[in-house]
Structure 1
Amino acid sequence: MIHKKQRTYLPENFEMNWESLEPLFKELAARPINSVEELEQWMRDRSELEAAVEEDFAWRYIRMTCDTTDADLLAKFQYFATEVQPKIAPLDNELNKKLVASEFIDALDEQKYFIYLRGVRRALELFREENIPLQTEIQLTQQQYQGITGSMSVHIGDQEYTMEQAAAFLKDTDRAKRQLAWETITARRLQDKDKLNELFNKLRGLRHTVALNAGFENFRDYMFAALGRFDYTPQDCYAFHEAIETEIVPILREHAEKRREALGLETLKAWDMDVDTSGKAPLKPFKDGADLIEKSIQCFSNISRYLGERLEIMKDNGLFDVESRKGKAPGGYNYPLAETGAPFIFMNSANTFRDLTTMVHEGGHAVHTFLTADLELNDFKHCPAEVAELASMSMELISMDNWNVYFESEEDLKRAKRDQLIDSLKTLPWVAVIDQYQHWIYTNPDHTDEQRYEAWTQIYNRFGAGFVDWNDHCDAQQNLWQKQLHIFEVPFYYIEYGMAQLGAIAVWKNYKENPEKGLQQYLDALKLGYTKTIRDIYDTAGIKFDFSADYVKDLAAFVKEEMGKI
């Protein structure tokens, strides 16, 4: 069993409410600092307090998403969001001021604290008192997305399915069954399209106001600052989009044409994109959630005993919720528990191949959480998504050579590997679409629903439109963006998946060439947390932080070569 780290500042039996928290924040604000050693102790005490607050909030979020129908769990989450976080924000800003104003700040180890202090100064630049209630309202409003989508279910035949469970029918070899499932799922989603449009319009307005309050022209530019994007600009994102359009989309268009021919179809429809073209039944890599966890532990252990032990620790401590069920929030995540030093993995398994890749993806995040658990300050563990997603997406590829634990048949194993490699390329245009769409949304804040539909369709078509014929389903195509949780809940957190996918392919290339060295470089990079720049972390992994057309072309060629070997 694992336990929270022993506290040195907070009482062990500390009760997490505002009445208990306020005196600690005020003590930190008032504490005299007379030496660099006292400043560092002050930073450690503050870090301990922040970790405790983060973990308490984590559990409120986890429990709420595990059961979106429980009013008590929702109330506990909302209490923290409305009664605690808004009161912490101004005090946290005062602590940041105290830190940067300290006469001993220049005596701190610059190499050790550079990234942390850079982030503190950026937070001070962005803080506005008037944004606190707006950010609270945003947080509560965006949680409505989970309530709306988590309550969605469909009846196929005589049985009710969650949306994740129903999606498994899209792999059925019977085209009529696939079509029925797709149309049923789509019709259910479209029932709530107006509700989701209304929700998003409210979020868009709130976010734009936050940006204006902070002195920015639009929410896009605000978020680039808020996300700490010190290493690239919006123009670099546009260059990434163009590289994906020129280097990846043609490969996927060619692959789609081969799919059409193999299925003997005149045109591909949306319900034709997940079925195996061999005509074989969908891959079934595990029986149920428990089997998925056990097989994943074995898979990770075969790569490295250390990796397997991390998942084993999580299982022994009840840190998984993997089965799909009605009332559970959609999607999947790995949530770090800041004090405990371990994470919680949440997902919606419907016993499909995609669930395998979700598990190893979130398992990569989990390993990252363990590797950074002992870093001195809590902020050292707050990795930017470009690094966090490198951990997860690299694990998807590194783990492939040990997927035999999921598949008894060699042919099924080959099918799984081929699907994974093509998916690693298919990720890139979708990332480009979602990212470019958000650039358009927030740099055109006064747009109408109709203009948003037009923008989405234009951008989606530029990157292949999923390589299917949407002529009879324009309404469904126009609303595809509503499926993407990130647009509602974590705006602009998406380009990172594309950057990390390129990095993951490069990590895997190193691993294929020298497994021991490649794995060690990967782990060494993750151990850094966020104590180095993104480029330095990628360098430690033995790869480049690069999304130029030439780099994209080289990595795509490597993936194609590896696909040819399977």
Structure 2
Amino acid sequence: MSEQTVQVPARPERKFLPENFKVESWEGLKPYFDDLLNRDISDKSELRKWLQDRSELESVISEDAGWRYIRMTRFTDNEEYNKSYIDFVQNIQPHIAPYSDSLNKKVVDSPFVAELEAQPGFDIMLREIRKDIEIFREENIPLFTEIQTLTQKYGQISGAMTVDVDGKELTLQQAGVMLQETDRDLRERIYFKIAGRRIEDKDKLDDLFNQLIGLRTQVARNSGFDNFRDYMFRAMGRFDYSPEDCFNFHDSVKDEIVPMLSALAQKRKEKLGLDELKPWDKAVDPENLPPLKPFKDSKELTEKTIRAFSNLDPFLGECLRIMREMGHLDLESRKGKAPGGYNYPLSEIGVPFIFMNATSTLRDLVTLLHEGGHAVHSFLTRDLELTDFKHTPSEVAELASMSMELISMDQWHLFFENENDLKRAKQEHLEQIIETLPWVATIDKFQHWIYENPGHDVAERTTAWNAIFADFTDTVTSWEGQEKFRDNLWQKQLHLYEVPFYYIEYGMAQLGAVAVWKNFRENPEKGLAGYLNALKLGYTKSIPDVYAAADIRFDFSRNYIRELMSFVREELDKL
């Protein structure tokens, strides 16, 4: 197949900053902030131009910070990259915060703001700005610096975790692939190696987490909130739902989905012919077939994903082709690389960066499809007028990614030529949805408990974790003898350390994604068009309005969960 010529996008021409400007220090940035702060605004068009200039400045800073973060996570053992990231966090960002607050006040105090607010997108942006003014406190700036410096340590600790398997040093992600092997004794041995390695850093990670809880609680109290949970609901702009809605979601998942989870676990136990289902039996194929290998290396993974995207719509494939051409993909797991995966939007160029830790599993394929959905979202919003319009809330961002996992399933034959393997892959992914929602509820409920009870000690936290975990896990798996590993399972969830309260969105978006997929199954052309139309809006509409543009509901009620999970169950039965 001949490779098409790729048109690499150019960075938009700068109107406010010099073309050759680079973010090197606060001193270099300050004149541009002063210009915005002191500029006279005499009519609506000047206010709009002022907002465009501010947007340009923020996009340049955001992209510079993005590259510092990307390099730091790609090479956690590189001292220079670590220093560069810390320099931004400690010496640039703290100076920006008070200026941002003053600029926000300048906008809302402008006599021309009402005229602007009547235009699409500006109402949403101004709602966010008013919220930022409400929660800003100067005394929180050094606390945020300290928090960001500490969260970097989580990546360093996790990125350094390796195990020795038969004389070979493997990252935990690489070793984790062996939990899919059909040799049960090997799986057990690998499980103990991985879990044992995590235990080595348990106290270090507990201490780190305790420090973060203390700092975050102080931030919340400084801003006049009873706890960090209430502060974060405001800070994250959760205008469309409350903690009470989250509790209802937890209850619905417990009642509607956990029984499905237990049924899957029972079926697995019976098919594997086991007296006892143990944690190391959860990733192997229930028919005891060898693990699926959808690709041999990151090159093949990239090529086939581009073809899958292109078959859905040529524009989608072009997005990934551009990223590959620009070197904006780092997919393979290696020592010294931070855990996890992300799509980092780069605000000025508008072409994001995908980072992940692929080995050769179905999960890795799904991760690239997921991050590819985020990437497509970045491309679809790159021409929106202001950076604020491009920064969507997580409930919308995760809809983009999780929907792509499902609507791309029609193209999975590219990865699995064997019909039985293809069926297995689809079945595994749909079962993963049934497993995802209870885990989302577990992590979210745990966060509510942590920050409602900030004075807890490690023993109390462990007790709370186990009680919450028991609510959302299947009733079949036996943890007898592995309790100490279960006690600190939560430590592998980087969101708890790095992006607190960013997790319930996966649950909401998972439901939305199933609804998008249901539409796509009924009418592929219309379903895909609805999905893309919703993403193009960026954050110029409320979350329910964006979901409505995709022809779905922003709804996580018990009845809706039951309806969508019945559809998933039906699709599973067809396989």
Q: Which of 14, 19, 22 is the equivalent residue of 1:15? A: 22
1:293 aligns to what? 302
1:496-521: CA deviation from partner (whole Å, max 9, x where unpaired): 00000000000000000000000000
Q: Pick which of 11-20 and 190-199 moved more.
A: 11-20
Matches within 5 A, 1:326-365: 326-365=335-374
Could you tell me how far 1:224 is from its partner in structure 2? Answer: 0.2
Aligned residue identity for 2:86: Q
Map of 2:128 onto structure 1: 119
Deviation by residue 1:82-116 (Cα, 9 ceiling, x = unmatched): 01000000001100010001011111142421100
Q: How big is each residue's C-alpha offset from its partner over 1:103-149, in whole Å with a ceiling of 9 and x where there is no partner? A: 11111142421100000000000000000000010000111000000
Superposed counterparts of 1:229-308, under 5 Å: 229-308=238-317
1:148-204 alpha-carbon deviations (Å, 9 max, x no partner): 000000011121100100000000000001000000000000000000000000000
Give the match for residue 172 of structure 1: 181
Q: What per-residue deviation string (whole Å, max 9, x for no partner) do you get for residues 237-281 of structure 1?
A: 000001101111111111110000000011210000000012211
Does residue 224 (structure 1) correspond to residue 272 (structure 2)? The answer is: no
Partners in 2 of 1:101 and 1:464 — Cα distance? 51
Please state how far the C-alpha of 1:35 moved relative to its aligned partner.
0.4
User: How far, CA to CA, are the matches of 1:466 and 1:148 in structure 2?
Assistant: 33
Q: Provide the rounded CA distance (Å) in 2 between the counterparts of 1:51 and 1:538.
A: 26
Shift, 1:558, TM fit: 0.2
TM-score norm. by structure 1 comes to: 0.99
Aligned pair 1:86/2:94, yes or no? yes
CA change 1:467–1:199 in 2 (3 A) is: farther
CA contact (8 A) 2:158 2:338 kept: yes
CA contact (8 A) 2:259 2:474 kept: no
- Counterparts of 1:362-401 in structure 2, within 5 Å, are 362-401=371-410
SS of alignment partner, residue 155 of structure 1: strand
Aligned to 2:116: 108
CA distance in 2, matches of 1:400, 1:153: 33
- Residue 20 of structure 1, CA deviation: 1.4
Distance 2:68 2:113 in 1: 35
Matched, 1:431 2:433: no
Structure 1 segments of 4+ aligned residues over 4 angstroms from their partners: none
- Looking at structure 1, the residues matched to 344 and 52 of structure 2 have their Cα atoms a distance apart, in angstroms, of 22
Separation in structure 1 between the aligned mates of residue 129 and residue 22 of structure 2, nearest angstrom: 27
Distance 1:464 1:416 in 2: 23
Deviation at 1:77, TM superposition (A): 0.3
The residue aligned with 2:4 is: none
Question: What is the CA–CA distance in structure 2 between the aligned matches of 1:381 and 1:200, rounded to whole Å?
Answer: 32
| C-alpha distance in structure 2 between counterparts of 1:424 and 1:29, whole Å | 48
Alignment-mate amino acid for residue 403 of structure 1: W
Q: TM-score, normalised by structure 2?
A: 0.98
Aligned equivalents of 2:378, 2:230: Cα separation in 1:
29
Quote the Cα distance in structure 2 between the aligned partners of 1:85 and 1:466: 47
Write the distance in 2 (CA, Å) between the matches of 1:409 and 1:314: 30
- Give 1:449's match in structure 2, choosing from 458, 468, 477: 458
Aligned letter for 1:78? I
| Paired AA for residue 278 in structure 2 | K
- Deviation per CA, 1:432-463, whole angstroms, max 9, x where unpaired? 00000000000001001000000000000011
**After the TM superposition, which of the residue ranges 304-313 and 457-466 deviates more from structure 2?**
457-466
Contact 1:128-1:213 at 8 Å conserved across structures: yes
Amino acid in structure 2 at the alignment position of 1:348: N
**Match for 1:140: what amino acid?**
T
Name 2:5's counterpart in structure 1: none
- Correspondence 1:51 to 2:59: yes
In 2, the alpha carbon distance for the partners of 1:76 and 1:57 equals 9
CA-to-partner distance for each residue in 1:377-420, whole Å, 9 max, x for gaps? 00001100000000000000000010011111111110000001
In structure 1, the residue corresponding to 2:250 is in which secondary structure?
helix
Q: Distance in 2 between matches of 1:466 and 1:324?
A: 33
Local SS of the residue matching 2:134: helix
Hey, what's the Cα distance between the residues in 1 that align with 2:490 and 2:376? 31
Separation in 2, partners of 1:304, 1:415? 25
Bigger Cα displacement from structure 2, 13-22 vs 546-555 = 13-22
SS of aligned partner of 1:11: coil
Displacement of 1:2 after TM fit?
2.6
Contact kept, 8 Å, 2:253 with 2:437, in 1: the verdict is: yes
Where does 1:57-72 land on structure 2 (aligned, <5 Å)?
Answer: 57-72=65-80
What code does the residue aligned with 1:560 have?
R
For 1:477, the aligned partner's letter is R
1:28 matched to 2:36? yes
CA contact (8 A) 1:2 1:317 kept: no
Q: How does 1:108-147 map to 2 (within 5 A)?
A: 108-112=116-120, 113-147=122-156
**Aligned-residue RMSD, C-alpha:** 0.8
**Contact 2:180–2:291, Cα closer than 8 Å, also in 1:** yes
Name the CA distance, whole Å, in 1 between partners of 2:433 and 2:533.
23
Indicate if the aligned counterparts of 2:341 and 2:357 stay in contact, CA closer than 8 A. yes
How far off its partner does 1:464 sit?
Answer: 1.9
Displacement after TM superposition at 1:15 (Å): 2.1
Aligned pair in 2 of structure 1 residues 34, 111: CA closer, same or farther (>3 Å)? closer
Secondary structure of 2:16's match? Answer: coil
User: 2:3 — aligned with what?
Assistant: none
User: Displacement, 1:465?
Assistant: 5.3
1:453-492 deviation digits (Å, cap 9, x = unpaired): 0000000001125852111111100100000000000000
- Residue 282 of structure 1 aligns with an amino acid whose one-letter code is P
C-alpha separation in 1, matches of 2:180 and 2:118: 54
Q: In 2, are the aligned partners of 1:175 and 1:272 still within 8 Å (CA)? A: yes
When the two structures are aligned, how many residues end up with a matched partner? 566
Amino acid aligned to 1:212? R
Q: Output the CA distance in 2 between the equivalents of 1:140 and 1:109.
A: 37
Equivalent residue number for residue 546 of structure 1: 555
Tell me the distance in 1 between the aligned counterparts of 2:378 and 2:283: 32
